[in-house]
A and B are shown apart, each in its own frame.
Chain A
Amino acid sequence: MASMIGSKVERKEDKKFLTGKGRYTADINLHNQTYAVFIRSPHARAKITGIDISKAKKASGVVDVLTGKELQDDKIGGLIAGWKIVSKDGTDMKCPAHPALATDLVNYVGDHVALVVAESLQEAKDAAELVDVKYKVLKAVASTGQAMNSDTIHEGIDKNLCFDWELGDKAKTDEAFSSADKVVEMDIVNNRLVPNAMEPRASIGDFNPSSEELTLYTTSQNPHLSRLVMSAFNAIHPEHKFRIVAPDVGGGFGSKIYPYSEDVVMAWAAKRLQRPVKWVCERTESFLSDCHGRDHITKCSVALKSDGTVTGLKVDTIANLGGYASLFATVTPTYLYGPLVLGLYNIPTAYCNVKGVFTNTAPVDAYRGAGRPEATYLIERIMDKAAKELGMDRAEFRKKNFIKQFPHQQCLVHNIDSGDYDAHFDKALKLADYAGFEKRKAESAAKGKLRGIGFSTYIEACGIAPSAAVMSLGAGVGLWESAEIRFNPTGNISVFTGTHSHGQSHDTTFAQIVSDKLGVPMENIEIVHGDTDKGPFGMGTYGSRSLAVGGTAIAKACDKIVEKGKAVAANMLEAKPEDIEFKDGEFLVPNTNKKKTMGEIAFACYLPGTYGEIKSPLPEGMEPGLKETAFYDPVNFSFPAGSHICEVEIDPTTGETKVDTYTCVDDFGNLINPMIVEGQIHGGLAQGIGQALYENAYYDETGQLVTASYMDYCMPRADNFPEFRIDYTCTPATSNPLGVKGCGEAGAIASPPAVMNAVVDAIGTEVTMPATAEKVWRALKDKKSTQKKAA
Chain B
Amino acid sequence: MGKVSLTVNGKKVEKEVPDNTLLVSFIRDNLNLTGTHVGCDTSQCGACVVHVDGKSVKSCAMFAVDANGSEVTTIEGLEKDGKLHPVQESFKKHHGLQCGYCTPGMVMSSIDLLKTHKNPSEEEIRKGLEGNICRCTGYQNIVASVKGAIGKV
Contacts and interface: CB of A to CB of B under 8 A. Distances in A.
Given A18-B84, A198-B47, A718-B126, A13 B100 contact: yes
Interface string A682-725: 11111100000000000000000000011100010111010110
A348 B40 CA distance: 49
A685 B138 CA distance: 7
Pairs of residues from A and B, 9 with the lowest C-beta to C-beta distance, nearest first: A20-B35, A250-B101, A17-B100, A682-B138, A503-B99, A686-B138, A503-B98, A20-B75, A27-B34
Interface in B22-52: 28, 33-42, 44-45, 47
Contact of A17 (B97, B123, B125, B139): B97
A718 B95 contact: no
A415 to B, nearest CB: 32
B118 to A, nearest CB: 19
Given A710-B133, A724-B140, 6 more contacts: A23-B34, A198-B133, A283-B39, A503-B99, A678-B95, A721-B126
A679 interface: yes
A245 B143 CA distance: 33
Nearest to B90: A18
B123 to A, nearest CB: 8
A172 interface: no
A19 B76 contact: yes
A15 interface: yes
Contacts of B98: 251, 503-505, 679, 683
A687 B18 CA distance: 40
B101 A198 contact: yes
B12 interface: no
Nearest to B139: A718
Contact of B45 (A21, A198, A686): A198
Contacts of A22: 35, 100-101
Interface string B54-94: 00000000000000000000111011000010001001110
A551 interface: no
Nearest to A21: B35
Contacts of B28: 27
B18 A122 contact: yes
A718 B125 CA distance: 8
B11 interface: no
Residue from the set A19, A253, A505, A685 with the largest chain B CB neighbour count within 10 Å: A19
Nearest to B105: A198
B18 A250 contact: no
Contacts, number: 177
Contact of B79 (A19, A251, A675, A747): A19
Contact of B130 (A19, A197, A684, A719): A719
A250 B135 CA distance: 10
Given A251-B135, A684-B138, A723-B140, A18 B103 contact: yes
A598 interface: no
B107 interface: yes
A685 B137 CA distance: 9
A711 B133 CA distance: 13
A437 B134 CA distance: 32
A682 B42 contact: no
A717 B133 CA distance: 6
Contacts of A684: 138
B142 interface: yes
B129 A20 contact: no
A110 B95 CA distance: 37
Contacts of A200: 38-39
A682 B94 CA distance: 13
Contacts of B18: 122
Contacts of B44: 710-711, 715
13 contacts: A10-B92, A14-B91, A17-B100, A20-B76, A198-B37, A199-B37, A251-B98, A505-B98, A679-B136, A687-B138, A718-B132, A724-B138, A724-B140
A709 B43 CA distance: 10
A717 B130 contact: yes
Contacts of B141: 678-679, 682
B93 A10 contact: yes
Contact of B39 (A199, A284, A683): A199
B99 A249 contact: yes
A710 B129 CA distance: 16
A426 to B, nearest CB: 25
A443 interface: no
A282 interface: yes
A644 interface: no
A768 interface: no
B49 to A, nearest CB: 12
Nearest to A726: B140
B138 A709 contact: no
Contacts of A15: 84, 92
A27 B32 CA distance: 9
Contacts of B37: 24, 198-199, 250
A683 B137 contact: yes
A710 B97 contact: no
Contacts of A14: 91-92, 97, 100
Among B33, B97, B138, max chain A CB count under 10 A is at: B138
Nearest to B89: A18
Contacts of B143: 718, 723
Interface in A172-221: 196-200
B88 A18 contact: yes
Contacts of A250: 37, 99-102
Nearest to A502: B99
Nearest to A717: B130
A641 B5 CA distance: 58
Contacts of A678: 95, 141
Contact of B122 (A17, A503, A505, A723): A723
B33 to A, nearest CB: 7
Contacts of A117: none
A189 to B, nearest CB: 23
Given A679-B95, A709-B42, A719 B138 contact: no
Given A20-B33, A503-B136, A709 B76 contact: no
A724 B140 CA distance: 8
Interface in A271-306: 282-284
Contacts of A483: none
Contacts of B126: 717-719, 721
A710 B130 CA distance: 13
Interface in A655-692: 675-676, 678-679, 681-687
A784 interface: no
Nearest to B18: A122
B71 to A, nearest CB: 17
| Most chain A beta carbons < 10 A, residue from B74, B84, B137 | B137
A721 B143 CA distance: 11
Contacts of B41: 282-284, 709
Contacts of A715: 44-45, 133, 135
A569 B38 CA distance: 54
A199 B99 contact: yes
Given A15-B92, A251-B135, A709 B39 contact: no
Contacts of A504: 98
A718 B129 contact: yes
Contacts of B33: 20
Interface in B114-153: 122-123, 125-127, 129-130, 132-143
